[in-house]
Each structure stands twice: as C-alpha cells, then as structure tokens.
Amino acid sequence: MRLRNIPGSKEVIAESEYVIHEPETVKGKWRRLFGNEKPLFIEIGMGKGRFIMDMAKAYPDINFVGIERYSSVLLRALQKMDEIEEKPENIRFICMDAKDILDVFDNGEADRIYLNFSDPWPKDRHAKRRLPSREFLKRFDVILSKDGTIEFKTDNKELFDFAVSELEPAGWKADVITYDLHADKELSKDNIMTEYEEKFSSIGNPICKYIIRR
C-alpha cells in the first residue's frame, strides 16, 4: 500500500503526540515511555491502522506500537485516530522500515508481533524483503521475550506456504496453522479484522493464519 504524497502530511505527523519521532532513543525504554510494565505488542506494516487501534481499545492492559513504512499511509491512521472520541492511551506509531527494527527495540523487549497481510514480494530475488522470511524472523527472535509469539494473517496462499516453510530453518514452531481462519469457530471467536482482511474475505478469499513461537 502506497498512497500518493499528501501535502502537509509531514507536518501533521511531526506534530502528532502518537508518533514516536526518534524511536532509536526509546530502545530499551518502551515501558518507561508508556509509564507502566504492561506487555508490548507490535504490528509491523499496520497500513491505515484499523486493526491496531481496535486492539488497543479492546485490550487496555497491553501497550501497542504500530509500524508503517510510508508517511502517507501513517497519516491516514492519524486521521482515523482523530475521529475516535475516547482515544486509547496505550498506542503509539512509528514511521520506519521494519528492516531497522533492531535499532528500536531491545533484546526481549516485545511480547508479540503481528504481521497482517504483509506485502508478498512475489519475485524470488525479493524473498528477503518478505516480513515472514527467515531474515526477518531472525530479527524478531532478538526483540521478542522468551515466550513471545508472532501472529501472521494473509489471504495470499503462496506467501503463507512460503512463511510456513521458513519456520523450521529459522527455529520457530507453529502453535496454530489454519488455511481458513473464518471457518474455525474457536480461532475466529476473538478475531479482530484488519482492513485487508475485511476486503478480501468479503470477496470470498479464505484467510490463512499462523501463531508461532520458538
């Protein structure tokens, strides 16, 4: 997802109290930033932020950080945040490429990572850019706590098969693997939909999901 550059977006982002502007300076201090010891969940590639905002409202005892690469997309999330009457205290955003995530979170600092409808990068030579690739799993291994988990959802079966095939070589195990999340009563009970999930499930695409740990 890349939206055309929107005039004034840089200024809106610069002024937002929800955006962490120098995230490297918060490395190792995320709990201090939130002012509590609650678990820290991250969504990487949050897009317009619907999922993470709904999660923050539903789970006030967890702190959430949404990461998005493009400022034009982050701006949409901030506009959505503006419309919320009771703004959640437990959410912040970062505009960055997740390849630099080790500069921003310390060893074991996060408790869960969500990857939702990650870009597929279909060409083989771009496999390393896929967020559920072993290269990214290696980074996530560093920043996740001992019992930390990664949850990945997509309607792209090729990307999902690739993601599953990356688990063993990267030293991860699946707690859950489904190729049709919405058909599984138990798994879909507390499922919070992302923007893409709503769009693609509404045209009949089954949603794949895994939950993994080391």
For tokens 């997802």, the residue is 1
CA dist 142 to 29, 137, 139, 148, 186, Å?
A: 16, 9, 5, 10, 31
Would you count residue 70 as binding ligand SAM (CB under 6 A)? yes
Would you count residue 34 as binding ligand SAM (CB under 6 A)? no
Question: Is residue 106 annotated as a catalytic residue, yes or no?
Answer: no
Contacting range for ligand SAM; rule: CB under 6 A; set: 61-69, 77-85, 140-148, 182-190 = 61-69
Side chain identity at residue 82, one-letter code: D
Q: Please, are residues 96 and 67 in contact by the beta-carbon 8 Å criterion? A: yes
Please name the residues in contact with 68: beta carbons below 8 A apart, sequence gap of 6 or more: 45, 46, 47, 49, 74, 77, 93, 94, 95
Site string for ligand SAM, 141-180 (x = CB under 6 A): ----------------------------------------
CB of 35 to ligand SAM, least distance (A): 26
Query: One of 54, 119, 141, 184 is an active-site residue; which one?
Result: 119
CA triple 37-42-48, angle to 5 deg: 130
Query: Beta 173-178 vs 208-213: how paired, if at all?
Result: antiparallel
> CB burial class (10 A; 0-12, 13-18, 19+) of residue 142?
middle
Would you count residue 66 as binding ligand SAM (CB under 6 A)? no
Would you count residue 23 as binding ligand SAM (CB under 6 A)? no
* Closer CB to ligand SAM, 46 or 137, in the complex: 46
Site string for ligand SAM, 105-144 (x = CB under 6 A): -----------xx-x-------------------------
Candidate residues 195, 200, 206, 213; the one interacting with ligand SAM per rule CB under 6 A: 195
CB of 67 to ligand SAM, least distance (A): 5
DSSP H or E segment with residue 5: none
Would you count residue 67 as binding ligand SAM (CB under 6 A)? yes
DSSP H or E segment with residue 82: helix 71-83
Side chain identity at residue 138, one-letter code: K
Candidate residues 56, 98, 167, 170; the one interacting with ligand SAM per rule CB under 6 A: 98
Q: Which residues bind ligand SAM (CB under 6 A)?
A: 1, 44-47, 67-70, 73, 97-99, 116-117, 119, 194-197
Which residues are tagged catalytic?
119
